[in-house]
Structure 1
Amino acid sequence: MIDLHSHSTASDGADHPKDLLQLAYRRGVRALALTDHDTLTGLNEAAAEAKKLQMLFLYGVEIEINAPRGVFHLLGLNLDPSKGSGMYQLQQALEDQQNKREYRNQEITQTLNRLGLVCDYEEIRALAHDVVGRVHIARYLFQKGYVKSQQMAFDKYLATGRPAYIRKESFDLEHAIRLIHEAGGKAIIAHPLSLYQSWRVLEESFRSFDDLGIDGLEAYHSNCKVGESRRLVELAHKFDWIVTGGSDYHGAKYLSRKLGHATAGEKINPELLHPLLREDQRMFWEQIQQK
């Protein structure tokens, strides 16, 4: 099996990079992309573990893009660690973005304090192994008993339009595509339906994205229905794009997201891997499949 979209504790996943690789291997996954949100910090640890397990590992990242509505995430798949300058530029851009978001997180915490919810940012930071996000603030509010669930924290305080919401600054699409390409990767639209556009508008958007150099889209995802995936594949073919699939695994608590599985809980087709691979990786993948 393969999986081209997964997360670790380097962002908002539940498993450390090393543990994620071990878990994937036990579940039968033999090729995995780690695509943490706006960070590359878990990749080297994951790659080292993959080498021990004789798994094919794809360096990846998931970058948040500025969008007028919905959620626009861009996967950078199969980044090439030998592209020193490109990887460095990507790393620097992500770190700059994280610094801006660190300031935003502290603003959110200060707002919550003004609302009467006493919050200690250092305690919130301790809940995150690396990048602090709203999910960690929500978890903190739940643990402190301010809300009855993490979802309630979003619904009452953190979601768009709620009292402690502060807009997050994200990447410009063209800039993000360029960074991914210079790092040797493919720029793939993650879970396209999260853009919340009609099929007609979605096709128009894809046309503009194609002009900017998008390489493909994630047609198979844990939140997709079979018919939706079929329509996304058809759209990808219109633009001669790569089609990918991933579980978007964040940990065992997300019962609908299982490593190696995507749309309707079906296994991800290993054939989706080939357009992403460099020649040496293709040879290694053939060896793995022969075992």
Structure 2
Amino acid sequence: MLLDLHCHSTFSDGTLSPKQLVKKAKNLGIKMFSITDHDTINGQDEAIKFANKIGLKYIAGVEINAEFPTLMDVLGYNIDINNDYLRTILEIIYNKRIERNKLMINLLKKEGFKIDIEDLEGVSLNTIGRPHIARILLKKGYGTSVSQIIETYLTRGKKCYIERFKFSPKKTIQAIKKAGGIAVLAHPKKLRLSNIQLELLINELKDYGLDGVECFHYSSDPHYTNFLIDLTRKNGLLVTAGSDFHGSNKPYVSLGVYVENFVIQDTINYFVTNYYKKS
């Protein structure tokens, strides 16, 4: 089965609009699709309406960064995009992002870069972060690539980096659950944990309401993917799959993930029972 439950639009750090993504997914033959923009659901209405129009099975989604020593992202699916609690949580994160961007730009200016907060206007429909700042600097003639600028100036430990505001994993998962959604741990490989550490973490996150693990992701090789599938099933959780497609911002990642039906069947059954029959 070709599906994709993890990708990003122009409402965060992708280069295709929600409508363009839905159309691309339909043309590729993707059977189940979700756009999971970083810390925002503002593109969901457009995606849902267009998916319904062209007959694509679409799951409303979001990706929220949670507090953790390294990178922890929690994916939320089947969420009520009008839920007040979730919207409040995301609004807080949005406002904290604006504060962070101002601080990073001030640090860049101290280092001699000619950049102002006004340069960020219009670069994204909602979520603005380091890739957008780096892209502006690149257009101004600084650096050799977006990744080079980020790694040199805007990464943890570098002069112009400011830590992001994040809620705890518990509060992040609870926000998804309060919006009627299911919570999934995104790309576990990026956590850089040992197998034992990851198992302990998943047991902890289960206590907060974790429902699944993203076992299929470009960061995982086949051996690690199989380990994740076994660990996820052992814990009675759902197996999910996502490309983490960002358009030209991640040119090495293609939309759509092939997964054998029996591996993802529990997830398919869940969404068929809890979503499609309601629509």
User: What band does the TM-score fall into relative to the shorter chain?
Assistant: over 0.9
Root-mean-square deviation (Å) = 1.8
Query: 2:61 aligns to what SS in structure 1?
Result: strand
Check 1:149–1:115 CA distance in 2 against 1; reply closer, same or farther (3 A cut).
same
Check 1:200–1:273 CA distance in 2 against 1; reply closer, same or farther (3 A cut).
closer
Offset at residue 7 of structure 1 (A): 0.8
Offset at residue 125 of structure 1 (A): 2.9
Check 1:192–1:280 CA distance in 2 against 1; reply closer, same or farther (3 A cut).
closer
- Pick from 213, 219, 224 the counterpart of residue 217 of structure 1: 213
Aligned 8 A contact 2:7 2:35 in 1:
yes
Q: Which residue pairs with 2:3 in the alignment?
A: 2
- Pick from 236, 239, 252 the counterpart of residue 240 of structure 1: 236
CA distance in 2, matches of 1:230, 1:149: 34
Q: Which amino acid aligns with 1:236?
A: T
Check 1:267–1:284 CA distance in 2 against 1; reply closer, same or farther (3 A cut).
farther
Aligned 8 A contact 2:104 2:160 in 1:
yes
- Report percent identity of matched pairs: 34
Mapped pair 1:128 → 2:124: yes
Q: Which amino acid aligns with 1:146?
A: Y
Scaled by the length of structure 1, the TM-score of the pair is 0.90
Offset at residue 129 of structure 1 (A): 2.4
- Pick from 153, 158, 161 the counterpart of residue 157 of structure 2: 161
Aligned 8 A contact 1:31 1:57 in 2:
yes
Q: Which residue pairs with 2:76 in the alignment?
A: 76
Mapped pair 1:150 → 2:155: no
Query: 1:225-260 CA distances to partner (integer Å, 9 max, x unpaired)?
Result: 111100001111221111100111111453432222
Worse overlay, 175-184 or 250-259: 250-259
Q: Which residue pairs with 1:96 in the alignment?
A: 92
Q: Which residue pairs with 1:288 in the alignment?
A: none
Aligned 8 A contact 1:7 1:36 in 2:
yes
Offset at residue 272 of structure 1 (A): 5.5
Aligned 8 A contact 1:65 1:171 in 2:
yes
- Pick from 184, 191, 207 the counterpart of residue 195 of structure 1: 191
Q: Which residue pairs with 2:17 in the alignment?
A: 16
CA distance in 2, matches of 1:284, 1:100: 35
Query: 1:112 aligns to what SS in structure 2?
Result: helix
Q: Which amino acid aligns with 1:57?
A: Y
Q: Which amino acid aligns with 1:274?
A: I
Query: 1:244 aligns to what SS in structure 2?
Result: strand
Scaled by the length of structure 2, the TM-score of the pair is 0.93
Query: 1:79-132 CA distances to partner (integer Å, 9 max, x unpaired)?
Result: 135xx5xx1210111011110110110110011001110102222232222211
Mapped pair 1:277 → 2:278: no
Aligned 8 A contact 1:2 1:268 in 2:
no
Q: Which amino acid aligns with 2:242?
A: G
Query: 1:177-229 CA distances to partner (integer Å, 9 max, x unpaired)?
Result: 11111111100000011111111111111121122221110001122111110
Aligned 8 A contact 1:244 1:272 in 2:
no
Q: Which amino acid aligns with 1:19?
A: Q
Query: 1:188 aligns to what SS in structure 2?
Result: strand
Check 1:43–1:282 CA distance in 2 against 1; reply closer, same or farther (3 A cut).
closer
Q: Which residue pairs with 2:166 in the alignment?
A: 170
Aligned 8 A contact 1:186 1:276 in 2:
no
Q: Which residue pairs with 1:231 in the alignment?
A: 227
Query: 1:79 aligns to what SS in structure 2?
Result: coil
CA distance in 2, matches of 1:176, 1:112: 31
Q: Which amino acid aligns with 1:215?
A: D
| Displacement over 6 Å in runs of 4+ | none
Query: 1:20-39 CA distances to partner (integer Å, 9 max, x unpaired)?
Result: 11111111113211110000
Q: Which amino acid aligns with 1:277?
A: F
Check 1:223–1:256 CA distance in 2 against 1; reply closer, same or farther (3 A cut).
farther
Q: Which residue pairs with 1:44 in the alignment?
A: 45
Aligned 8 A contact 2:13 2:249 in 1:
no
Q: Which residue pairs with 1:289 in the alignment?
A: none
Query: 1:62 aligns to what SS in structure 2?
Result: strand
Q: Which amino acid aligns with 2:168?
A: D
